[in-house]
Amino acid sequence: MDKPKVFILGAKGRLGAALARTWAADSEVSAYGRSEADLARPASIAGMIRSERPDVVVNCAAMTNVDECETSRDMAEAVNATAPGVIAQATSAAGGRFVHISTDYVFSGDAASPYAEEAIPQPVSWYGETKRRGEVAVMAAGEHHAVIRVAWVFGPDRDSFIDKALHAALRGEPVRAVADKYSSPTYTRDAAEGLRPFLRDGAPGGIYHLCNSGVCTWQQWAQEAIDAAAKIGVPVKTRLVEPLKLADIKAMAAKRPVYSPMSCSRIEALLGHPMRGWREAVDDYVRLLRDEGRLAAGC
């Protein structure tokens, strides 16, 4: 079977870099960062797609600073809402599939249990609203396209919240994290495998959720990382993550969904197995950092 020709947009980010690395062995991957493919100029990306005719285009790029989206609304709409639709239309015209990475922030956070793929989005921020508009534009461009919602992405290609918590713990600094906001983390290693079916024609289009199973707060997420590091001999000096309340963080300009875990039933049915738990994924990631020498004392 011929290798699929895959374009990855946003390839310098956590997820995009993981996809480019993981899929390189069995796909013809072209990875583009912002300097090569800027969503603020979608017409140039569309032209490239029409010329090169990739089988799959995966869009990991977005304007993701939630607070900046509130103050730069036109840019957020251009990048998160308008550009995905333009690029999805070009992908359809070229005979390919567009896979668009979205977010749990399309939900209000008022649910009592994890959101299913069929749940009605009700964004509470401009970031969430623009991402939802992007989802609608992508699906309008072709029912074979896919929208993949992820949350709290972490992985080795770019530091995330838990990397910063680990480094602070290594230095003996206080580690504080919000204890009243809930979601489901997404390890890029697991996401790369979960997205693999979309490289072929077998995966139906539509909305999917892709994250590790289980529910946690930022405090629990950071605490698991520090506990995992201590268990494998990493010399963390700070062992306890102090709780914060979301309402006490005054620097946040945008409202966040307080409860946005997601059920991954559609993608689990596609894969034939459940997504592994977030604690196991965090422990695996911490071991990787230790083995690569990235958790030395004084980091």
- Known catalytic residues? 127
The values of phi and psi at residue 50, to 5°, are -65, -30
53 Rama class: left (phi>0) / alpha (psi -120 to 50) / beta? left
Q: Are 138 and 84 in contact (CB under 8 A)?
A: yes
Q: Are 161 and 202 in contact (CB under 8 A)?
A: no
Q: What pairs with residue 31 in β-bridges?
A: 8
Q: What is the DSSP letter of 213?
A: B
Tokens of 123: 């964004």
What is the Cα Rg of the chain in Å? Answer: 19
DSSP percent split of the chain into helix, strand, coil, nearest 5: 40, 15, 40
Provide the edge-to-edge strand list for the sheet that holds 5-9: 28-32, 5-9, 56-59, 97-103, 146-150, 206-209
Residue with tokens 């590091």: 229
Tokens of 54: 């990739």
